[in-house]
């Protein structure tokens, strides 16, 4: 299977040789969710801007979490706006650790697009190679891609409650959020009982993904072994897709819980664990 990553130099060669893929600029982060101003100031040539909050997620009941998965029709309409046709190669990038780009990779791959990649190193990696940017907006000719519903590789809230009984549940947020020391976004601090902390940033070095062997070692240190079913969650289902991408690089299947802590912490009757494993206090929500 082809790698889901592409380097800046590989992408530049592809563009120069006339095989330009559809480029998606998915700049988004928690403290600056609107990435369009930065996109207009400079982006990869031909890249269209992707609005993560409104195109890679849907607005709905807060009890579904902060970034529920988009409906098929919503995502398909967005993908056509981006200019995607059946058979296109798609490359997504952002400017912070490829976390938002991984969300685009995951939802599009799970929706049936066969060739979606993430620019390893993102915008910063592109600039490090002294490759060009362009300014302004790009309005791509409308595409006609047909997407499918996302049904595989997804865990629901009841699934993850039982997951530690038969598999490994990874909380991929920062350690302080896992422990419950701080929670800047959701109503309750802590983590799902039985979850193990493996911050998704450990899979990177200097903004790029580590080697498959290094990623496998990180997963193994968290308890991943042959035959163990692995699921991941984060704050709202964005960073968990980054861990799923790391899993593909390492040959490990990682199921994503899209609702993540933002759904769990808003659902009555669930429990929240606080403190470092294995000595944990559990409180009802």
The residue extents of the domains of the chain are: 5-128, 157-278
Report, as residue numbers or ranges, the catalytic residues: 234
- If you average pLDDT over every residue of the chain, what do you get? 94
pLDDT-derived band at 33 (thresholds 50, 70, 90) equals confident
157-278 CATH pick, 3.30.1360.70, 3.90.800.10, 3.40.1190.20, 3.40.250.10: 3.40.250.10
Q: 282 pLDDT band (50/70/90 cuts)? A: very low
Structure letter (DSSP) for residue 234: -
pLDDT (tens digit per residue) in 224-264: 999 999 999 999 999 999 999 999 999 999 999 999 999 99
The residues, ordered by sequence, that sit 6+ positions from 268 with a Cβ below 8 Å of its Cβ are 285
Q: Quote the pTM value.
A: 0.95
Q: 24 forms bridges with which residues in the sheet?
A: 48, 92
Percent of the chain with pLDDT over 70: 96
Residue 137 has pLDDT above 80, yes or no: yes
Tell me if the domain spanning 5-128 has CATH number 3.40.30.10.
no
- Select from 256, 249, 1 the least CA-distant residue to 103: 256
- Dihedral of CA atoms 30, 33, 38, 43 in degrees, nearest 10, equals 90
Same fold, 5-128 and 157-278: yes
Residue 180: C-alpha distances to residues 15, 44, 58, 177, 196 (Å): 46, 39, 27, 5, 13
Alpha-carbon distance 170 to 194, whole Å?
A: 9
Residue 231's SS3 state is: strand
SS3 104: helix
What pLDDT does 279 receive? 46
């Amino acid at each position: 299977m082809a790698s889901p990553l592409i380097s800046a130099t590989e992408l530049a060669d592809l563009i120069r040789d006339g095989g330009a893929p559809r480029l998606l600029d998915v700049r988004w982060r928690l403290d600056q969710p609107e990435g369009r101003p930065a996109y207009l100031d400079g982006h990869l040539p031909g890249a269209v801007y992707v609005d993560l909050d409104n195109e890679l997620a849907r607005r709905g009941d807060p009890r579904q979490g902060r970034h529920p998965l988009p409906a098929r029709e919503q995502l398909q309409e967005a993908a056509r706006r981006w200019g995607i046709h059946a058979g296109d190669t798609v490359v997504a990038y952002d400017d912070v650790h490829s976390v938002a780009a991984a969300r685009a990779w995951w939802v599009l791959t799970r929706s049936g697009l066969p060739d979606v990649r993430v620019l390893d190193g993102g915008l910063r990696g592109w600039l490090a190679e002294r490759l060009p940017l362009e300014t302004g907006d790009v309005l791509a000719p409308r595409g006609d891609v047909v997407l499918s519903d996302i049904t595989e590789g997804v865990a629901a809230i009841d699934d993850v409650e039982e997951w530690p009984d038969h598999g490994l549940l990874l909380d991929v947020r920062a350690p302080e959020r896992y422990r419950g020391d701080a929670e800047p976004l959701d109503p309750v601090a802590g983590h799902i009982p039985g979850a193990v902390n493996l911050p998704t940033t450990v899979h990177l070095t200097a903004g790029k993904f580590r080697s498959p062997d290094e990623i496998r070692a990180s997963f193994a240190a968290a308890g991943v072994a042959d035959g163990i079913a692995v699921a991941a969650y984060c704050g709202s289902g964005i960073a968990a897709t980054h861990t799923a991408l790391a899993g593909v690089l390492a040959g490990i299947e990682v199921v994503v819980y899209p609702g993540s802590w933002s759904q769990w912490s808003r659902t009555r009757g669930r429990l929240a664990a606080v403190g470092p494993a294995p000595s944990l206090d559990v409180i009802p929500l």
